[in-house]
Amino acid sequence: AYVWQPVAGCPRDLPLFFLSAGDLCDVMKTACLGQPIGGESAAVALFFAEYLPAIRRHGAWLYKRMLWEAAAAGHALWLAAEAEGLRG
């Protein structure tokens, strides 16, 4: 079971949660769609969205936009990690 504890110091409008401590390599590999890099990473960020209400309100085009935004955020995190020398 996950603890779903808000991360200290995060703004209230940024719902970032601590889920669990310990060896989560297999869990993260699964969460990353079976990609081995997910289990080998120092950190894994997963993005969740309640997309159905947004799609109902704005139309199906919004689904692609939400995926694009999640991908852009993930890419920015990856670039920041690379800049800090966090690789392999």
Nearest to 43 by CA among 1, 4, 2, 80: 80
For 44, phi then psi, to 5°, come to: -130, 130
Radius of gyration of the chain (CA): 15
Give the DSSP H/E element, type plus range, for residue 51.
helix 51-58
Nearest to 24 by CA among 6, 2, 9: 2
Please list the pLDDT of the chain residue by residue as tens digits (88 residues). Answer: 789 999 999 898 888 888 888 888 998 899 888 989 888 887 788 888 888 999 999 999 999 999 999 999 989 988 998 898 887 6
